[in-house]
Amino acid sequence: MVPDHLFDPSGYDAQIVTPPEAASPAVSAQNEVLAVETEALALDRETTFVPGDDGLPARKVALHSLDKAHYARYYADIVGRAMKNAFPGPLAWVELFAGPGRLYVKELEAFKPGSPVEAVGIKSPFDIYVFADLDERCVTALQQRVGERPGVHVLQGNANAADLHDRILELVPRDALFVLYADPSGLHLHFETLRFFADRYKHLDLLLNFPVPGIDRALSAGHEGKASLVLNHPSPVELIGPGSGRPGTSLRQWFERQLGTLGYTEFAAESIKLHAKNVPLYDLMLASRQPRARQFFEEARKRGPGGQVAMTFDLGI
């Protein structure tokens, strides 16, 4: 099943209206950026599979998706090493929209591990891993890639569905330090899902793909329904209208305020950019109730997508 698109494809077409032969250099450059951005985002939202180098399905992605996987791994690695002995309860990593566990990066023409495979391979693994995806192909492939490991569970289900939420509750004790990582291909993560887990877990950190430019473009094209479920706003177009300030700032501020109603006080974000044109596509956002989680995230940011900068933060281990 192909997921619903993040944006109506006609919304992109409407952005590129000047024929190339008639365009000024500035408009031509803008059209080129939009075209490259459209192609990259199409890979995000269409969930294209190719045969993997291990014979299982791999997801075809643009290079920016590899950046997200790297930052998620660095954050998991830092939390795992810092909290393994410091936190009295179990450590749990739960990933919604987990995918098949293998990526084919278009620009590199190479296969790379996806975030679930990297998360279970960190130096100090979490006690519990739960990976969930709606697509049966992803679930089947990921089960084989992570293998039979104690504490690792791969589930099939809708990220916003009560039955999946209940299964996660059965697997993750309430006293766990719970990191919920969600990287949907579109506007598929509802705020009520975050509320469900935040209400039940005192030590819940959120690591989220928050597509600020995408939400802005979707709202501008008149697609309010999905954005409303993501932002917990009855009429989210008001957030980008006259008097709202800069659209990206307003959307971020609104979303952070909504998370604030759930007890979140610590926020940090890394802008994930389109490599070819250095265009921001998403925010990889952390929300926590503990200042130390924000410090861990800032340390992960220092590593960079290539991991070339050594960690300097005192992890207390």
Contact yes or no for 258/248 (Cβ under 8 A)? no
Residues 69-99 have pLDDT tens digits of 889 999 999 999 999 999 999 999 999 999 9
Supply the pLDDT for residue 221: 82
The pLDDT, as a whole number, for residue 273 is: 82
Check residue 99 and give left, alpha or beta (phi > 0: left; psi -120 to 50: alpha): left
16, pLDDT greater than 60? no
What the chain holds in terms of domains, given with CATH numbers, is: 46-303 (3.40.50.150)
Q: What is the pLDDT of residue 219?
A: 85
Residue 216: pLDDT band with limits 50, 70, 90? confident
Percent of the chain with pLDDT over 90: 59
Q: Which amino acid is at 102?
A: R
Average pLDDT, integer, range 52-78: 92
**pLDDT tens sequence across 140-173:** 999 999 998 999 999 999 999 999 999 999 999 9
Residue 39: per-residue pLDDT: 52
Q: Is residue 47 scored above 60 in pLDDT?
A: yes
* Mean pLDDT, residues 15-44 taken together: 47
Return the pLDDT at 131: 98
Q: Please, are residues 265 and 279 in contact by the beta-carbon 8 Å criterion?
A: no
By the 10 Å C-beta count (0-12 exposed, 13-18 middle, 19+ buried), 237 is classed as: middle
Mean pLDDT across 293-302: 94
**Do 59 and 143 contact (CB within 8 A), yes or no?**
no
% of the chain exceeding 70 in pLDDT: 77
Contacts of 15 (CB under 8 A, 6+ apart): 34, 217
User: Where are the alpha helices (H) located in the chain, listed in sequence order?
Assistant: 9-13, 25-46, 63-83, 115-120, 136-146, 162-171, 191-200, 212-220, 224-231, 247-260, 291-303
* Better-predicted residue by pLDDT, 129 or 147: 129
Opening angle at CA 185, ends 37 and 117, nearest 5: 110
pLDDT at residue 53 greater than cutoff 90? yes
pLDDT over 60 (residue 227): yes
Are 282 and 214 in contact by the 8 Å Cβ rule? The answer is yes
Dihedrals phi, psi of 244, to nearest 5 degrees: -85, -5
Q: What is the pTM of this model?
A: 0.82
pLDDT at residue number 223: 82
What's the rounded mean pLDDT across residues 52-77? 92
